[in-house]
Amino acid sequence: VLTEQHKKDLGLLTELPPAALAEFAKIAVEFLRHGANPKIYSGAAQKLNVSPTDVKGAVEALSYVFAECAKNNINDIDFMDTLLVLAFPKEINEGLTNMYEKYKKEIRSILTELSFGLPHYDNLSWRLDVQVASRTLNKQVEPIFTIKLETFEPEHRVQYLQTDIVNLKHIVAELERALQELKSAHCRRIIRNVK
């Protein structure tokens, strides 16, 4: 979803010749990779006779559009539909769509590098300990589950957890609810777009 500020910043693109539009797309990809570069902004601003803050805003807004569309793996037709909100001329829409298709794989690889890694499930083992009596209480039953959870991120990690039956039932119920949510139409649509 584009904010009004994004739309305003992208308005500068309507004043650009096609060659400058391609250069803006290249600068937007470099912005995603290395961050802001004021030297490039001031050089582009001098060539176009606009302020460097306008160039910076346009580059950041364009990189936002590219990043969001690449993150959702949007194809060129859907990208063109995204640009309809901006009411750009047809030539600019086509130019931006061509630049998006050209840089899409590179942007996705940049976003992958920038994302943080979550641990992945490797193995789970458990043991049930039951205390049936103590010195003070006879006929006492206290089941305790000891769980060994093995995950890997880049490295292998082992965590030991201990829980009683009530908390274990709650954890199982939450995991089952998460699996049911995964089967919902909304979630399947998101997964399909992320791939």
pLDDT for 5-32, tens place per residue? 888 888 888 887 777 888 888 888 889 8
Count CA atoms within 13 Å of residue 96 on its CB side: 29
pLDDT for 41-88, tens place per residue? 888 888 888 888 888 998 999 999 999 888 888 888 888 888 888 888
* DSSP 3-state of 73: coil
Residue type, 95: G
Work out the burial of residue 13: count CB atoms within 10 Å of its CB; fewer than 13 is exposed, 13-18 middle, 19 or more buried. buried
36 with 43: CB under 8 angstroms?
no
Report pLDDT for 110.
86
Torsion, Cα 50 53 54 55, to 10 degrees, reads 80
Indicate the pLDDT class of residue 195, thresholds 50, 70 and 90: low
Q: Indicate whether 162 pLDDT > 90.
A: yes
Lowest mean pLDDT among 3-7, 57-61, 181-185, 190-194: 190-194
Which residues have CB under 8 Å from 49's CB, separation 6+?
none
76 with 41: CB under 8 angstroms?
no
Report pLDDT for 194.
67
Report pLDDT for 177.
94
pLDDT for 102-143, tens place per residue? 989 998 888 888 777 778 889 999 999 988 877 777 877 888
Count of H-run helices and E-run strands, the chain: 8, 3
Task: Report CA Rg, the chain.
Answer: 26
Give the tokens for residue 19: 């060659």
Adjacency order of strands within the sheet including 156-164: 120-131, 142-152, 156-164
82 with 65: CB under 8 angstroms?
yes
